[in-house]
Structure 1
Amino acid sequence: MANTSYPASYYAASANPVPPRPALQDDVETDVCVIGAGYTGLSSALFLLENGFKVTVLEAAKVGFGASGRNGGQIVNSYSRDIDVIERSVGPQQAQLLGNMAFEGGRIIRERVAKYQIQCDLKDGGVFAALTAKQMGHLESQKRLWERFGHTQLELLDQRRIREVVACDEYVGGMLDMSGGHIHPLNLALGEAAAVESLGGVIYEQSPAVRIERGASPAVHTPQGKVRAKFIIVAGNAYLGNLVPELAAKSMPCGTQVIATEPLSDELAHSLLPQDYCVEDCNYLLDYYRLTGDKRLIFGGGVVYGARDPANIEAIIRPKMLKAFPQLKDVKIDYAWTGNFLLTLSRLPQVGRLGDNIYYSQGCSGHGVTYTHLAGKVLAEALRGQAERFDAFADLPHYPFPGGQLLRTPFAAMGAWYYGLRDKLGF
């Protein structure tokens, strides 16, 4: 039996109290059965409940057990491949639709936090930090691109200005996005789950979907029960396993590592990040960090292809943290953990329908916090018969990994080695 309790992360240790949720023990009927109580599933469930659907959510472990409760907690706009890349592959009309949606996920998070009074340490402001003049040039063109789609809360930072927002000597400049920001990701998921239940939705934990019965009246089977529904939403992402074989072939789970320091003094915390913005650098294999509500530094980075858990996370991430902030050399690391996200070959999310009544969204490729919230809205719209925005995602081209599941890990690791080298050499 897989371990279904939360990993020993800072987030699990500081999670808001929640009621115990039972496992599914019998047969139930509903309008929509959602598989997975992470952000994609919870966002879908909330939008559906707000529109009068009866919703049942099945979670193999606990709410937010996967990437939703373990990530860096950063609200980063757009997709893992930006709108200009999308434009080149799909043409202007579809790109316009996707571009218009690229900043919606962050707005949805803020609406949810306000409407349902979710306590998740929400802070505004995210910085993209450039390590080279070439990266700075990319940020300048990114700003122009985003502004073309109406996204105006952006400020380019020169070398002097970036020193005012982050005490790291490595950066030549950056871009501040005031509609970016950061949250306690597990508490956001737990708050959304409480909102689902407040609207009459039912969440079963420790209830893995073991089989989907397809057809005119589909059903999801768990070890001790089943849910018959008009529609099914598959929202398992990197934790779906082989439940839907045609989705597993086009994606690969990857691990990312995160550490959290002991609480820092107010003075030290303020000296590192005076405005309390979150930061990510512009490398392909990027580092990201921020302060928590209780003034710890959370620092993440590194990717493990194929999602094995590395033996010593602190040994991988602490040197990266000290490179950015040598002033933390005597600071203790209290927590170190890993979590999986789902990578696609195109690094764009995969959205679609199997038959007439099974919908899915997966493969955020590292941009999950905002995208998943948008995905829930887009899936809910499709179930209500408004498919234009759903189709814009569903029509994106996707490819299986070369060599299938056997070779996808070495291929991706080879690509990462190449990009890591490019980062080091400043290409």
Structure 2
Amino acid sequence: MDFAYDARTEELRARLLAFMDEHVYPAEAVAEEQRALLASPWDTPAVVEELKAEAKRQGLWNLFFVDQHSLPDAEYGAGLTNLQYAPLAEITGRSPHLAPTALNCAAPDTGNMELLAQFGDEAQKKQWLEPLLAGEIRSAFAMTEPEVASSDATNIETRIRRDGDSYVVDGRKWYISGAMNPDCKVFIVMGKTDPDGTDLRRQQSMILVPRDTPGVEVRRAMQVYGYEDHSHGGHAEVVFDNVRVPAANLVGEEGGGFAIAQARLGPGRIHHCMRLIGMAERAVELMCRRAVSRTAFGKPLAQQGVVQNWIADARVTIEQLRLLVLKTAWLMDTVGNRGAHTEIQAIKIATPRAVVDIIDKAVQAHGAGGVSQDFPLAELWAAARTLKLADGPDEVHQRSLARRELKKYL
């Protein structure tokens, strides 16, 4: 692979960096001020819609879209490869609660749009994909459940039962990202259509459930280390009680839910890692600014050996992670997601773990301020720590990766 970014990537990086400086960073405080005045903290502040309009105007919109063959998809997005998108996603990670939404590149909508583009029929694309691409609505992916170990998707207990021309959905989900946002209009729900089937990976299906369907209850917002994550639309507990939807709402075929989930989660994992590197870069920037501006024991923190070690180690780690993420993106473009399976798992293990440590050191350098609301570090730490669980906990990826390595010797 070529280590240099190509001309288009460099041009988009320059435009996006300017957009961040001129629009996103100044809007961070404004968004919080506006949210405090809203009727509901889950409503979208006006400044977010202004950012979305400006991003559209500047052509910084739907940058993430790569088709199912790991090729640029100009029909739905900007026509970028994974390798071209990676440094752009990193930049948005510097303001993870605002920038991805402003560019319509925020989870879970990105994964849901990719899923609908790959597996949805024309009617489903017209009803749900088109308004998602336009940023007119939001969506949620309802997979995780409180009563079972959802890291093993075959454990999912939600039932999707065929009844004539309808399916009936019953189940309880939680940590369903974005569901508290009133603009979240549809859930992609994973459940079992064949709970007694002999093939555990053919028991599950996915179905589209509009939010306003009778029996859908968005029960409460789940906190993440005390944060409700208003900017992302929260992480909700959602109950589906005898929810009836047309049979046409099934995504793909009955029994295809497990395969669809795997296809959806692969790109999502690398997107998270791309943004995590941006989070780490912002933490290092804040740590350095703090180190040169604070004095302890007669000299600036920047002259304290332990702080210098933190900064040096963080720089080395970020450079290592970035190279691994870029290699993974390149492999996804050249040999496909399946061919990059080992590397996708490797970055999903390595990146959250390392970035949590970098942010933690930045918190330490800020003292009490690091855990306060006056700096973004505590919220960044909570988000990074959560990604050791999201899209599969570290241990599941380690287990799978070890088996693949051992298979060479068996």
TM-score normalised by length of structure 2? 0.25
User: Which structure would you say has the larger RCO, counting Cα contacts within 8 Å and 6 or more residues apart?
Assistant: 1
Q: Quick check: which one's helix share is greater?
A: 2
Q: Quick check: which one's strand share is greater?
A: 1
TM-score normalised by length of structure 1? 0.25
